[in-house]
Amino acid sequence: MTKYRIPKSALTVIYNRSGQVLVMQRNDDPEFWQSVTGTLEISELPIQTAIREVLEETGIDIIKHNYQLHDCEKVNQYPIRSMWQHRYPPNTPFNTEYVFAVEVANEHKIELTEHSAFLWLDKKQAMRKVWSDSNREAIELFVPNAK
């Protein structure tokens, strides 16, 4: 039996105290740069997914470091890319994405597990670099302008 993904995810924009935004390059598409993104697991709330995915993808433990994860109260719906459609139940055209943001210390070390590279970019550069419109909008709306 094939285990399909739930068509719901959490997008978490990570930025540091200097206003730089973390963007990561996907392993399966070198042109696709993004913030932390991950699928909800069964019985998991979006905020739990955000915390888990940040830890899994970057090594940043939001709870341990007492970082304040901000629920942006923004929900997006977008078409699932055709190259990823096989991961979802048949006839599932859309994914629902819950948006979060978190500020971390400038010196926080990043430990990639699911991406091939990362960059800390200023807000405008990050908005240009990310692939998806919803990621671009999240950076624009929820990352403070540089201090």
> Beta-carbon neighbour count of residue 62 at 10 Å?
21
Q: Does residue 16 belong to any structural domain of this protein?
A: yes
In a domain, 108, yes or no: yes
Q: Is residue 1 part of a domain?
A: no
Residue 28 has what pLDDT?
83
Please report whether residue 97 resides in a domain: yes
How many domains does the chain divide into?
A: 1
pLDDT at residue 147, as a whole number: 61
pLDDT value, residue 1: 46
Asked whether residue 3 is assigned to any structural domain, the reply reads no
Mean pLDDT of residues grouped by 10 in the chain (147 residues)? 86 96 92 96 97 98 98 96 89 96 95 95 98 96 85
Contact between 72 and 101 under an 8 Å Cβ cutoff? The reply is yes
Report yes or no on 36 lying in a domain: yes
Q: Residue 70's domain is classified under what CATH number? A: 3.90.79.10
CA distance 112 to 139: 20
115 Cβ contact list (under 8 Å, min separation 6): 24, 25, 26, 27, 57
Asked, for residue 114, whether it belongs to a domain, the answer is yes
Residue 18's SS3 state is coil
Residue 147 in domain: no
Measure the CA–CA gap between 135 and 130, rounded to whole angstroms.
Answer: 7
Which residues 6+ apart lie within 8 Å of 82 measured at CB? none
Query: What is the extent of the structural domain holding 59?
Result: 8-142
CA distance 76 to 91: 19
pTM: 0.94
Specify the DSSP element, H or E, that contains 36: strand 36-39
